[in-house]
Amino acid sequence: MTSSDMQMAVSLQYVTFRSLHEEPLTIAARLSVPAGAGKKPAVIILHGSAGPSAREVGYADKFNAAGIAALVPDLWSARGIGGGSEGRPKTVAETLPDVYGARAFLAAHPEIDETRIGVMGFSFGGIASMLSATHAQNDLYLPDGHFKAMMPVYPVASAFNRVPGFEFGNLVDAPVMLVTGALDQYDDDADAGPKLVASLDPKDAAKMTVKVLDGAHHCFDVPGANVVVNDPASHRGKGGQVQMLFNEMAMLASHQIAVNFFSENL
């Protein structure tokens, strides 16, 4: 399919929705819906600490080509923050009302099947998508339901069940695809994801799948990324410099993992 065919086959809109905060924020988002009859499944794509980038649109395009709608929110602009380790919310949980506000928006959309909505995210957004798999967080916002599938990508796997705010267990009845990079310097351990799953209750572990991408750093799927940043959350919470480096092969692998996972589970 050519790029012009893609443009003709997808309805692209810039929309806003209300978060579920007590004092709701108005969140701007990019919504792309494939053409065709019938209601579509949809995936919410959550950006990382740096804010929206070409990464999210890259995944959205792949979903659209597979018949899946994509909503890419900008969670930072509504807060007037610039992103990065100094310009992100203090806790990931603060953004979960936005995530569930996004889900409510999609559930009410006439072109979206409210029973087939998934969520994925990267780094900070990956943590949010992972926490949405827990009853402890999900049931605060959606006590009678949950996302159909979740895909956290490099969500600092080594922090879960070790750092306050990263409690992970008692999962909702939905599959979770955890994707990590073998060279991610937030974890400093290629096996951080598999070790986390092995530590879970067997009922929870059975809902998890882990893919560790060889040769992949943090932000491996951000086109053009090649920067060293300082982050107090890096190196298993010790802090310091961390490499963000694009890896095209890892990106393409992750795109395919995402399309396969959500096509199968939505």
pLDDT score of 86: 63
Dump pLDDT digits (tens) for 55-96.
999 999 999 999 999 999 999 888 887 655 565 677 889 999
Separation of alpha carbons 233 and 159, rounded Å: 9
pLDDT score of 82: 62
Average predicted confidence (pLDDT) for the chain: 93
pLDDT score of 8: 52
Name all domains of the chain by residue range, CATH numbers in brackets.
3-216+250-265 (3.40.50.1820)
Give the chain's end-to-end CA distance (angstroms, integer): 23
Computed from CA positions of residues 155, 159, 164, 168, in that sequence, does the dihedral angle turn out positive or negative? positive
Q: pTM for the full model?
A: 0.94
Separation of alpha carbons 3 and 205, rounded Å: 40
Are 218 and 250 spatial neighbours (Cβ–Cβ below 8 Å)? Answer: no
Q: Which stretch of DSSP H or E encloses residue 212?
A: strand 208-213
pLDDT score of 6: 42
SS3 content of the chain, % helix, strand, coil (to 5): 35, 30, 40
Distances (CA, A) of 182 to 201, 212, 241, 242, 249: 24, 6, 17, 14, 13
pLDDT score of 132: 98
Q: Quick check: helix, strand or coil at residue 165?
A: coil
Separation of alpha carbons 128 and 98, rounded Å: 10
Q: Which two tokens stand for residue 67?
A: 């018949």
Q: Quick check: helix, strand or coil at residue 127?
A: helix
Residue 158: phi, psi to the nearest 5?
-70, -15
The angle formed by the CA atoms of residues 251, 252 and 256, to the nearest 5 degrees, is 115
pLDDT < 70 positions in the chain: 1-8, 82-88
